[in-house]
């Protein structure tokens, strides 16, 4: 049997969006998942589990904590709880109950596991502290009367978040401009939950996720923005670029066309669409789009490139080629 160890430091990356599902889909049938700590112990690189009486089965812990068995499996996989030969101790039950409380207070699973991993790095278990869920969904702990964000060093205080959604969005935009993408993500997510009709917040959140390389999640957010505002050309354009980058060229063409249908003077959409059509040898379709772009951006270097591309389209439509 092949063993696949899941590193605790990958918790946030794997549990955000659908990455863990993608990992599981690619695992061979004969493979089994084990936690990082279990692997280290099997190799003699970590001390054995703390000696304590372990008498509870996973069914017992599920019944007493209110968590289902699958959830407990994932907690064990990231070493939040530590069963030994499939039996659990009292500290595991306390950790499971603490996890259940945090989930009820609005903490998502990725944030919960990431917090537990940060605690373990300082030699603390989830059973030994009482954590707090902040107004933006971040997890923190009380240190001498001050709630501090769990960043591994417990040094970042929770911000005093404004109450008005416009102010929250303004803070998110400022964080994005300053390059603090994690803060921007939290704030845009909070604003999106406060106003379930506004298309701007999911659009901006999609941009932040895309900047972090989380392209699949970004596409979902841009689609959410479009669902809220179907005539949102920038969202259609961003989605088109993402689809093209992902090799889904037909979908990209549809999205570029939609952006141009809504905003006929959208020069970037016209340029990208013409270039994509020409790359697919659809010269008759690309030519009018190039001509449209030239009309939108006359006298620019991009227009000069477009004229050359248009000439090439005309030649290729006649079965001719242009000598390099």
Q: pLDDT per residue over 78-135, tens digit each? A: 888 888 888 988 888 988 898 888 888 777 777 788 888 778 777 777 777 777 776 6
pLDDT at 253 over 90: yes
Higher-confidence residue of 259 and 159: namely 259
Q: How far apart are CA 292 and CA 274, in angstroms?
A: 10
Strands (E), 104-188: 131-133, 139-143, 146-149, 156-157
% of the chain beyond a pLDDT of 70 = 81
φ and ψ at residue 30, rounded to 5 degrees: -90, 5
Give residue 115's pLDDT.
81
pLDDT at 42 over 70: yes
Q: H or E segment at 119? A: helix 109-121
- Written as six digits, the tokens of 121 are 């790095």
Give residue 156's pLDDT.
40
Question: In Å, how far from its chain's centre is CA 53?
Answer: 40
Buried b / exposed e along 210-247 (16+ C-beta atoms within 10 A): beeebeebbbbbbbbbbebeeebbbbbbbbbbbbbeee
- 316 class by beta-carbon count within 10 Å (0-12 exposed, 13-18 middle, 19+ buried): middle
Q: How far apart are CA 179 and CA 144, in angstroms?
A: 31
pLDDT at 159 over 70: no
CATH number for the 244-324 domain, one of 1.25.40.10, 3.40.718.10, 3.10.20.340, 1.20.1260.10?
1.25.40.10
Q: How far apart are CA 35 and CA 80, in angstroms?
A: 10
Architecture in CATH of 159-230: Alpha Horseshoe (1.25)
Q: How far apart are CA 94 and CA 120, in angstroms?
A: 15
Q: Where are the domains of the chain?
A: 1-128, 159-230, 244-324
């Amino acid at each position: 049997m092949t063993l696949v160890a899941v590193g605790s430091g990958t918790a946030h990356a794997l549990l955000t969006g659908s990455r863990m599902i993608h990992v599981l889909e690619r695992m061979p049938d004969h493979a089994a998942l084990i936690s990082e700590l279990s692997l280290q112990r099997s190799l003699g690189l970590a001390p054995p589990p703390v000696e304590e009486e372990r008498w509870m089965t996973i069914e017992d812990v599920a019944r007493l904590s209110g968590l289902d068995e699958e959830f407990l499996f994932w907690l064990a996989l990231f070493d939040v709880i530590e069963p030994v030969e499939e039996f659990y101790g009292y500290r595991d039950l306390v950790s499971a109950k603490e996890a259940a409380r945090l989930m009820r207070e609005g903490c998502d699973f990725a944030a919960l596991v990431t917090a537990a991993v940060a605690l373990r790095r300082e030699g603390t278990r989830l059973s030994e502290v009482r954590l707090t869920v902040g107004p933006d969904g971040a997890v923190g702990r009380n240190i001498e009367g001050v709630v501090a964000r769990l960043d591994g060093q417990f040094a970042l205080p929770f911000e005093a978040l404004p109450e008005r959604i416009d102010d929250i969005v303004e803070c998110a935009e400022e964080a994005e401009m300053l390059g603090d993408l994690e803060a921007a993500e939290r704030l845009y997510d909070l604003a999106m939950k406060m106003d379930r009709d506004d298309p701007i917040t999911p659009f901006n959140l999609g941009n932040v996720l895309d900047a972090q390389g989380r392209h699949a999640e970004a596409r979902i957010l841009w689609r959410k923005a479009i669902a809220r505002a179907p005539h949102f050309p920038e969202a259609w354009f961003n989605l088109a670029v993402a689809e093209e980058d992902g090799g889904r060229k037909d979908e990209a063409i549809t999205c570029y066309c939609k952006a141009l249908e809504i905003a006929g003077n959208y020069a970037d959409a016209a340029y990208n669409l013409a270039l994509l059509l020409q790359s697919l040898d659809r010269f008759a379709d690309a030519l009018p789009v190039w001509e449209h772009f030239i009309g939108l951006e006359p006298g620019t270097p991009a227009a000069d490139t477009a004229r050359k591309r248009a000439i090439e389209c005309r030649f290729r439509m006649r079965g001719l080629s242009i000598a390099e």
